[in-house]
Amino acid sequence: MVESRRRSGRLASVPTSRNVKVSAGLVALFVVVVAAVAILVGGGDDGSDAPSERASSTTTTATSETSADAATLPPVVTDDPRLLGAPGSSGVTFTEFLDFECEGCRAAYPAVEELRKAYAGRVTFNIRYFPLPGHQNSRPAAIAVEAASQQGKLEEMYRRMFETQAEWGEKRESQAGTFRGFAEDLGLDMKRYDAAVADPATLRRVESDFAAGSALGVQGTPTFFVNERRIDPRSVDDLRNEIDAAIAGS
Amino acid sequence: MTAAPAGTSSDAGVRRLGLVLLLAGILGLAASAELAIEKFRLLEDPLYVPPCTLGGAVDCGSVMTSDQASAFGFPNPFLGLAGFAGVLVAGLAVASGARPGRWFWLVVQAGMAFAVVFVHWLIFQGLYRVGALCPFCIAVWVATIPAFWYVTLHNLQDVAARPSRLGAVARIARENHGIVLTVWLLLVAALLVERFWAPWDSVFA
């Protein structure tokens, strides 16, 4: 600054130092205000306006009661699972808590399909519904898939949801009609489908998965479990390694 | 910051503009390169967690997979790689003593105007639509805004010499360049703090 002032006689020293001083003052003021607000509001903030509607796997939050007592934890693999394809022979079950409207789940879908191919016949692939409240149509989507599963078309509907997500995801209006169209395409008995969608028991089935997931500490989707153990993969290889280890140990 | 005088830019002033562009080019290019590389890694492996995902609202993954991250149908960092490379070279030339003609500056102005509009659209989308932050994106904002501002002030030197009202505005802007820039950046910072207050609490508390 000094050098430039010296080099150019036309540079009035006043504006330069004023620019620096006022700027520094403003920055200091900003920091003080933020710090003051932090101290005043600090601990009392409940984080209610935390924006995380579209956040992916690691951060998509769902208010979860963290139940610490391992003894009271619900099982990851229940007596009434929703399986993709036939069960595997190794006794290892791979469970995904998913939200059909979640982009992270859509992104993971091809990887999960590859795992299913690679471990076909050996590992059981289980899905559990975890429709996040930030998504308008994730719960209707889960209900549609659950309704399809009652007619043995779980896998078909599951595929359809992810393959068409870009068309119906992130919409404000209800996509129940779109999902009904999928059901028709899959050749479902529409009377039974409509009845299942309207049946409170279908919603309860979805909600029971969500509640179990919350209790298990699932906070976002996709969240993966190998048997009863939660995996926090940082790559697809992590999933393979965990599955391999579980097969080797079983 | 560049000490641009009220009238015509002094040679030292232009040189400092070159330095601003050079630094903005380096910062922007580095950030764009990082974002482009992370984008490829994310495409290779959908479960890949970028290192800039720190939890809370600081989540590169959800920013990079958003539709807005490919605003023109291809990943935004490609624009940054090309654009900031140009800014860097322009800055290098000017800082080393090159004094390009008027139309050079007009082209740079056009590019920076596009960049600054695009960056503010991204700021809005990141804050209020995607709802997540990525540190390298912020680096791009911080590179773009001063570069745009000082190129604009440089190009306003003729206007500032006029006795008209517009000339007076241009003169005031040039005299208070640092204050305007600081207020601009602080406004963005304030929006950020306001929007992500709670997550920051949880990340850094």
ipTM value, please give it: 0.79
Contact A107 B65 (CB under 8 A): yes
Contact A107 B46 (CB under 8 A): yes
Packing angle of the helix pair B135-155, B76-95 (nearest 10 deg): 50
* Residue A63 within any structural domain of the chain: no
Q: Do A14 and A97 share a domain, yes or no?
A: no
Name the residue among A22, A58, A233 with its Cβ closest to that of B59.
Answer: A58
| Chain B CB contacts of A5 below 8 Å | 3
Q: Do A24 and A111 share a domain, yes or no?
A: no
Please tell me the predicted confidence (pLDDT) of residue A71: 59
Q: Do A79 and A9 share a domain, yes or no?
A: no
Q: Do A118 and A226 share a domain, yes or no?
A: yes
Name the residue among B12, B179, B196 with its Cβ closest to that of A23.
Answer: B179
Q: CA–CA distance from A140 to each of A8, A146, A157, A189 (Å)?
A: 69, 10, 13, 18
Domains, chain B, with CATH or none: 11-199 (1.20.1440.130)
Please tell me the predicted confidence (pLDDT) of residue B6: 45
The whole domain housing A158 covers 70-249
CATH number of the domain enclosing A195: 3.40.30.10
How many structural domains does chain A have? 2
* Residue A50 within any structural domain of the chain: no
More confidently predicted of B4 and B120: B120
Residue B129 has pLDDT above 80, yes or no: yes
Q: How confident is the model at residue B2 (pLDDT cuts 50, 70, 90)?
A: very low
Q: Mean pLDDT score of chain B, rounded to an integer?
A: 88
* Residue A55 within any structural domain of the chain: no
Q: Do A88 and A199 share a domain, yes or no?
A: yes
User: Shortest Cα distance from A181 to chain B (angstroms)?
Assistant: 26
Q: Which chain A residue is nearest to residue B55, measuring alpha carbons?
A: A59
Name the residue among A45, A53, A110 with its Cβ closest to that of B197.
Answer: A45
Q: Do A38 and A81 share a domain, yes or no?
A: no
| Chain B CB contacts of A57 below 8 Å | 47, 49, 61
Q: Do A129 and A75 share a domain, yes or no?
A: yes
Contact B5 A234 (CB under 8 A): no
* Residue A56 within any structural domain of the chain: no
pLDDT digits (tens, 9 = 90+) for B60-81: 877 888 888 999 999 999 999 9
User: Shortest Cα distance from B127 to chain A (angstroms)?
Assistant: 9
Q: Do A132 and A243 share a domain, yes or no?
A: yes
Tens of pLDDT, residue by residue, chain A (250 residues): 444 444 443 444 456 788 899 999 999 999 999 888 888 776 544 444 444 433 333 334 444 444 445 557 899 999 999 999 999 999 999 999 999 998 889 989 999 999 999 999 999 999 999 998 878 899 999 999 999 999 999 999 999 999 999 899 888 889 999 999 999 999 999 999 999 999 999 999 999 999 999 999 888 889 999 999 999 888 889 999 999 999 998 7
Please tell me the predicted confidence (pLDDT) of residue B137: 94
Please tell me the predicted confidence (pLDDT) of residue A73: 87
Q: Do A225 and A156 share a domain, yes or no?
A: yes
Q: Do A8 and A107 share a domain, yes or no?
A: no
* Residue A86 within any structural domain of the chain: yes
Residue B30 has pLDDT above 90, yes or no: yes
The number of C-alpha atoms within 13 Å of A150 and in the hemisphere containing its C-beta is 21
Task: Show the DSSP H helices in chain A as ranges.
Answer: 2-7, 13-41, 103-118, 138-149, 154-163, 165-168, 176-185, 190-198, 200-215, 236-249
Name the residue among A19, A22, A51 with its Cβ closest to that of B195.
Answer: A51
d(CA A32, CA A27): 9
